Structure 1
Amino acid sequence: MKRLLVALAAVAAFSAQANETLSVAATAVPHAEILEFVKPTLAQQGVDLKIKVFTDYIQPNVQVAEKRLDANFFQHQPYLDEFNKSRGSDLVAVAGVHLEPLGAYSSKFKKLDDVPGGANVVIPNDATNGGRALLLLQKAGLITLKDSSNILVTVKDIAENPKDLKIRELEAATIPRVLTQVDLALINTNYALEAKLDPAKDALVIEGNDSPYVNILVARPDNKDSDAIKKLVAVLHSPEVKAFILEKYKGAVLPAF
């Protein structure tokens, strides 16, 4: 009986402690996996982390802006800036967490030199990741852009295309599904990992760690300084999370803190 009372007291203490709910939108890999890793630690600090997984890049921002969710974790600053500009929202970055290098993949060719003239290439259709993909193609020597300093370049900004690449834009999440149907696909690391690709080994070319596209935790001006958000940031920036990222993703995802 005494043991039962002690156990019940422990449960009651834990329940009383985890009394603040924080809802965070995330894409599955690696964002939701990182959040799942920190969830027990946050619970010990009185925060009940609710993770809602999305497969697109639109709804996570929409639902935070509309106060249906508290925060999100899936995007980088250039994407957030473009979203706020196009939607008239005022979402804010709270903290940088990690970098997911964008890579070029092929199921048909082992190196970029093998990509033939007239090759079919797919890139993300959102402004920031599309520009990011084109900049990577330029870095690989496949195209030349009119203005390399513009991170929002589009296919209309290609100055030289010596291989006459046929570049098409698709929603980022769908690109891994068409990898076998095209010659080259520019894929965000989160979607590459979901598709069981190993960016460190499978990408024919990949961004370096000097990339400006650090993935960030995003909230609203009214809640960015809340205790729950602050606790989440502190845990996300802990040595334990850094070790988790390095061990689990083997260089495909890099800590940014």
Structure 2
Amino acid sequence: MKKWLSLLFVTVLLFVLAACGGGEEQPTEEETEAPAEEETEESATENGELETLVVGASNVPHAEILEFATDLLEERGIELEIVTFNDYVLPNQALAEGEIDANYFQHIPYLEGQIEEHGYDFVNAGGVHIEPIGVYSQEYESLEELPNGAEILMSSSVADHGRILMMLEQEGLITLSDEVDGVEATVDDIVENPKNLQFSANIEPAMLPQAFQNGEGDAVLINSNYAIDHGLNPFTDAIAIEDGEDNPYVNIIAVRSEDENNEEIQTLLEVLRSEEVQTFIEETYNGAVVPVSE
């Protein structure tokens, strides 16, 4: 009788164990939840929670600033794709053709000139920084040393001419007519030129550093972005530099007019004006690039 009861007990016990687990280990709570979390993260990416924003930019400093801002933008839900350009024409063409969502390389007068010339339906979404223009010379250590009849090389970009001439006027080298807005001034608006300076404006902006390094001209005026890109330090290599304060030539984010109020564009601008990015600009470029907050 005892043997029969023992056999019955063992049989029931085996039946219960088989019913509960089928001979397999049950997953722990952690094992059950981990795949769910992994799947959620993958689904978030696949479902497009990170919005892609494609921005065209000059190599230096624009693309470098954007690169620094990449992680900050990702935290805000934006995956930034940077397309670099080395001239002043293609970024606006690419924007007009929808190849990029915004560009970051130009100042306001240049944008306005491009809109007038090409009929672009662009707007200025906001300013980020200023790049002072520097005067470089292989032979002379100051503007005062420039000889009579000195050849001055400047950008072929008409939008920069007024800016350059105002700078030279502030330095006492020329006087412009009172009848013209300085931003729109041309060489023809010079009313006093004591040193009979000769102006040449047939070199593309990106080629000015090379012209300087080749010893062309007595003085060459170069935008800081191109100077830095060619290993020049505007504050140690230039014999004079434009005042960065209250400068109307702020570099901006330009977009198609229908995208001006897009959330991604506004977020981009907020990040580029953030304390983190402004500190990066100040510490990286030592005043050759000046951040703006509005």
TM-score range, shorter chain: over 0.9
- Rounded to whole Å, the distance in 2 between the matches of 1:8 and 1:116 is 73
Of residues 224, 227, 238, the one that matches 1:203 is 238
- Rounded to whole Å, the distance in 1 between the matches of 2:49 and 2:194 is 59
- 1:45 matched to which residue of 2? 76
Report deviation, 1:18. 5.3
- 2:261 matched to which residue of 1? 225
Q: 1:102 to 1:42 in 2, by over 3 A?
A: same
Aligned partner letter, 2:130: L
Question: 5+ residue gaps in structure 1?
Answer: none
Q: 1:8 to 1:109 in 2, by over 3 A?
A: farther
- Rounded to whole Å, the distance in 2 between the matches of 1:35 and 1:12 is 27
- Rounded to whole Å, the distance in 2 between the matches of 1:97 and 1:89 is 21
- 1:190 matched to which residue of 2? 225
1:241 aligns with 2:277: yes
* Cα pair 1:75 1:216 within 8 Å, conserved: yes
Report deviation, 1:19. 3.2
Report deviation, 1:9. 6.1
- 1:79 matched to which residue of 2? 110
Q: Which runs of structure 1 show a deviation greater than 3 angstroms over 4 or more consecutive aligned residues?
A: 4-19
- 2:181 matched to which residue of 1? 149
Report deviation, 1:45. 2.4
TM-score, structure 1 normalization: 0.92
- 2:66 matched to which residue of 1? 35
Q: 1:197 to 1:15 in 2, by over 3 A?
A: farther
Of residues 146, 151, 175, the one that matches 2:208 is 175
CA displacement, residues 100-152 of structure 1 (integer Å, 9 cap, x when unaligned): 11121112211111111121211111121122111111111222222463312
- Identical-residue share of aligned pairs (%): 42
Report deviation, 1:192. 1.0
- Rounded to whole Å, the distance in 2 between the matches of 1:189 and 1:249 is 10
Of residues 44, 50, 74, the one that matches 1:19 is 50
Report deviation, 1:201. 2.2
In terms of mean alpha carbon deviation, does 215-224 or 197-206 score higher?
197-206
Aligned partner letter, 1:233: L
Report deviation, 1:15. 5.7
Greater CA radius of gyration, 1 or 2?
2
- 2:159 matched to which residue of 1? 128
- Rounded to whole Å, the distance in 2 between the matches of 1:225 and 1:129 is 29
- Rounded to whole Å, the distance in 1 between the matches of 2:237 and 2:181 is 28
Question: 5+ residue gaps in structure 2?
Answer: 1-29
Report deviation, 1:7. 6.7
- Rounded to whole Å, the distance in 1 between the matches of 2:166 and 2:247 is 11
CA displacement, residues 149-186 of structure 1 (integer Å, 9 cap, x when unaligned): 33121222222222122210121111111102221011
What is the number of residues matched between the two proteins?
A: 257
Look up the SS of the partner of 2:172 in the other structure. Answer: coil
- Rounded to whole Å, the distance in 2 between the matches of 1:241 and 1:55 is 23
- Rounded to whole Å, the distance in 1 between the matches of 2:125 and 2:235 is 28
* Cα pair 2:136 2:239 within 8 Å, conserved: yes
* Cα pair 2:162 2:186 within 8 Å, conserved: yes
* Cα pair 1:121 1:182 within 8 Å, conserved: yes
- 2:193 matched to which residue of 1? 161
Of residues 100, 103, 110, the one that matches 2:131 is 100
* Cα pair 2:122 2:256 within 8 Å, conserved: yes
